[in-house]
Amino acid sequence: MREYVAGLLLELKDKNKVLHYREFESEEVKSGYCQSQPILYTYAAHLAYLKSLPAGIDYKSANVGALALAALAWERELGFWASGEYVGPTRSQSDHFSQDNWGDCVEERGDKMVKVHRATRPVPSLKLWTPEKWEDVNKLASKYIPADTNKGPGSKAAAKRRSASLASSDTESNGVEEEPAVIIID
């Protein structure tokens, strides 16, 4: 199990991880960026919530933040399996799924401050997707939406448990240099 998880968490040249791809054979042969089964399953909770709203869901809509967050959540979850056995989060602040631990941050590198894209790493690539690509991905994820969204992740009870925050990309940069974005064309 440890080797399997290590393989999924392997960082590639493009700074993404194997777990982000639906199909992965090698650095050169991979497809389905941000479309692995666990990521789509998690993203489906967002779609289920949208489906439960009075206006329903538009499968052509781009839900960049929700898909990026689903990918990040699975990266975190797989980290709990790094030893080969599940070692869940503790009450320690360092184990929280929070902006401090998983959001974009600024690091000192040599004599410069550099913005590191942890949470928003997939965003530049996802913003390039066409409405047709989003429709395809949303349809793939929709197979994980419970038939009765009143009992699933889109229910009112589930909505009460959710919280919202600003994406780190929505905040001021304060003159900090940024790492270059990596765009994945799939």
pLDDT tens column, 76-132: 888 888 888 888 888 888 888 888 888 889 999 999 999 988 888 899 999 999 999
Could you tell me if residue 99 is inside a domain? no
Least confident interval from 90-99, 108-117, 136-145, 151-160: 151-160
pLDDT band for position 182 (cuts 50, 70, 90): low
The count of other CB atoms within 10 Å of the CB of residue 153 is 21
pLDDT tens column, 12-49: 776 677 888 888 888 888 889 999 999 999 999 999 88
Count up the domains in the chain and report the number: 1
160 has a pLDDT exceeding 90 = no
64-82 as b/e, with b when 16 or more CB fall inside 10 Å?
bbbbbbbbbbbbebbeebe
Residue 64 is predicted with a pLDDT of 93
Domain of residue 71 covers 2-88+123-173
Residue 135 is predicted with a pLDDT of 92
Higher pLDDT, residue 145 or 165: 145
Reduced to 3 states, what is the DSSP secondary structure of residue 109? Answer: strand
